[in-house]
Amino acid sequence: MFRRVHNLRPRCFATANVSARRLASTKTLKETLQEVIPAKQEQFKNIKAKHSQTVVGDVKVENIIGGMRGLKAMLWEASVLDPYEGIRFHGLSIPDCQKQLPAAPGGKEIIAESMLWLLLTGKVPTEAETRQLSRELAEKGDLPAYIEHLIDSLPTSLHPMTQLSMGVAALNHDSVFQAQYEKGMKKSEYWEYTLEDCINLIARLPALAARIYRNVYRSGSDLPAINKDLDLVGNYSNMLGYGANHDLTEYLRLYISIHGDHEGGNASAHTAHLVNSTLSDPYISYSAALCALAGPLHGLANQEVLRWQLAMQKELGDNITHENIKDYLWKTLKSGQVVPGYGHGVLRKSDPRFIALQEFCDTRPDLLQSPTIQMVKKTFEVAPGVLMEHGKTKNPWPNVDATSGCVLYHYGLTEFKYYTVIFGVSRALGALTQLVWARALGLPLERPKSISMDVLEKLITTSQNP
C-alpha cells in the first residue's frame, strides 16, 4: 500500500534530530533562503516595473532557425557562462570555488553540498552549515520501497538513463508540492514546497543511480546502507562499490560539483525550467530534463570522447607522440567526423572545468602514468592547432568532456553507458535550485512565439525593404 505524505503547513527541512545537533551559529538552507529571497523579489519587481520594454538585444534569423543559440531570453540566477572567462557561480570562478567552498572531512575537493548551498543562496556556506546539510541529505536519502521494486523490475538491457528518468518521475508519488497544490496553497508558498521536493530528490538521487548501476553491471551484489556521517558523493561512491578508492571519490566530488550548473540555456537545464513553468512538480520536471540530457549532442558526449580516445590508443599502440596524434586528428577530420571533446556552443576558450580536471590529474602520479590520461594531455597540446588549421570549428579548445570520462575509465568505472547517469546526478544541483527561484520570483509559463518559413521570409523582406 502506497501512502502520499500530506503536509498542512510548510516544514523546516531539517528534522528534529538534525536541528538538535546543529550549532547555534549556523542557519539551515531554508532559513538562509528566507533571508535572501525578499531582496531578490524586490530586484525582480523593480526590473519588471521599470524596464519591461527596454530592448537588450536583437533577434536574428540565425536565432530562429539555429535553435535559439545565443539568444538572451531566459532568467537564471545561479550561474553565468562567459565565452572567454567560462562559468561563474554567483560571480565565483571554479578556482574561487575550490578555494572557498568546504570540502569533505579529510578531503580537498569541493563537495556537492557546498556547491548546492552556493547555487541556491548565492552565499558561501560555513563548514558547519555544509556538514549539517550533508547530514540532512543522508537522512533523507533512502529510496521508498516502491521505487526499489520499480527499478528492480526493469530489464537490465534498458538504458541506465531511461531507468533514471523513470525512477525520478515515479518519485512524484511523494511530491509535497503536488499534494499541497491539490489542497490549495498561496503562490507565495510555492517556493517552499518546491524546495522541499528538490532537497528530497537530490538526497535520493545517489541511491537511485547506484541501484541502477548495481542492477545493470553488478547483478547480485548488495547495496550498502547510507552512512549518515558521509557527504552525498561519499555515499554515492560507496554505494557504487568504489568507496575504498579515495582518489575516485575525490574525483567524483570535484566532477559533480563543477558539473552541477552551466547556466540555464543548455538542453537539460532549460527543459527542467520549461516543464516546471507549467507548475509540474520538480520530479516530473527533472525527469524531463534527464531525457534531454540523454541525447548524443548533450550528456552522452563524454562517452563518445572516450570511445574515440580508446580507438586512437588502439591504433597508435605504445607510440603515442604529438606527430602521431596529429595524424590521427587529420584522419578523423578528413573522414567527415568531428573531434569529440573539442568545441562548445558558448565557450571560445578552454573550458575551465577541463582545466580543473586536468589539474586534478596532475596531482596524482598514477593518473600521470596512465596511457589514456597521457593521450588526453597530448591531444590537448596538439588538437587546437589542427582544428584552427582545419578552419571549420568556431572553438578549437577542449570542453569538459575531453577528459571527464577518461578519468572514470582509469579508475575502473568502465561502463560507458552509465557515465551520463553521473552527469544526471550532478546537473540536478543547478537545475533544481533554479526551480525554487522560478517559483520564488513567480516566473510565468514559458511560451515563445513560433513562425513558419513563409512568415519568416516576409519578415526578412520587410526588414530589408523598410
Which positions ≥6 away from 400 have C-beta within 8 Å?
258, 259, 302, 351, 353, 354, 357
Residues 6+ apart with CB under 8 A from 73: 448
**pLDDT value at position 302?**
81
Q: Does residue 373 lie in a domain region? A: yes
Give a yes or no: residue 309 inside a domain.
yes
Instruction: Report the SS3 class of residue 243.
Output: coil
SS (H, E, C) the chain: CCCCCCCCCCCCCCCHHHHHHCCCCCCCHHHHHHHHHHHHHHHHHHHHHHHCCCCCCCCCHHHHHCCCCCCCCCCCCCEEEECCCEEEECCECHHHHHHHCCECCCCCCECHHHHHHHHHHCCCCCHHHHHHHHHHHHHCCCCCHHHHHHHHHCCCCCCHHHHHHHHHHHHHHHCHHHHHHHHCCCHHHHHHHHHHHHHHHHHHHHHHHHHHHHHHHCCCCCCCCCCCCCCHHHHHHHHHCCCCCHHHHHHHHHHHHHCCCCCCCCHHHHHHHHHHCCCCCHHHHHHHHHHHHCCCCCCCHHHHHHHHHHHHHHHHCCCCCHHHHHHHHHHHHHCCCCCCCECCCCCCCCCHHHHHHHHHHHCCHHHHCCHHHHHHHHHHHHHHHHHHHHCCCCCCCECHHHCHHHHHHHCCCCCHHHHHHHHHHHHHHHHHHHHHHHHHCCCCCCCCCCCCHHHHHHHHHHHHCC
Residues taking part in catalysis: 298, 344, 401
Nearest Cα to Cα of residue 230 among 220, 240, 221: 240
Residue 49 lies in a domain: no
pLDDT of residue 300: 82
Cell of 81: 557562462
Q: Is residue 267 part of a domain?
A: no
Residue 320's domain is classified under what CATH number?
Answer: 1.10.230.10
What is residue 348's predicted lDDT score, i.e. its pLDDT? Answer: 85
Residue 366, domain extent = 301-410
344 is a domain residue: yes
Q: How many residues does the chain have?
A: 466
Q: Is residue 167 part of a domain?
A: no
Answer whether residue 356 is part of any domain: yes
In 3-state terms, what secondary structure has residue 281?
Answer: coil
Q: What is the pLDDT along the chain (466 residues), one digit of tens a residue?
A: 334 444 434 444 444 444 434 444 578 999 999 999 999 999 999 999 999 999 988 899 999 999 998 899 999 999 999 988 999 999 999 999 999 999 999 999 999 999 999 999 999 999 999 999 999 999 999 999 999 999 999 999 999 999 999 999 999 999 999 999 999 999 999 999 999 999 999 999 999 999 999 999 999 889 999 999 999 999 999 999 999 999 999 999 999 999 999 999 999 999 999 999 999 999 999 999 999 999 988 888 888 888 899 999 999 988 889 999 999 999 999 999 999 999 887 888 899 999 999 999 999 999 999 988 999 999 999 999 999 999 888 889 999 999 999 999 999 999 999 999 999 999 999 999 999 999 999 999 999 999 999 999 999 999 888 8
Distance between CA 416 and CA 423 in Å, rounded?
12
Residue 204 inside a domain? The answer is: no
Number of domains in the chain: 1
The pLDDT of residue 10 is 41
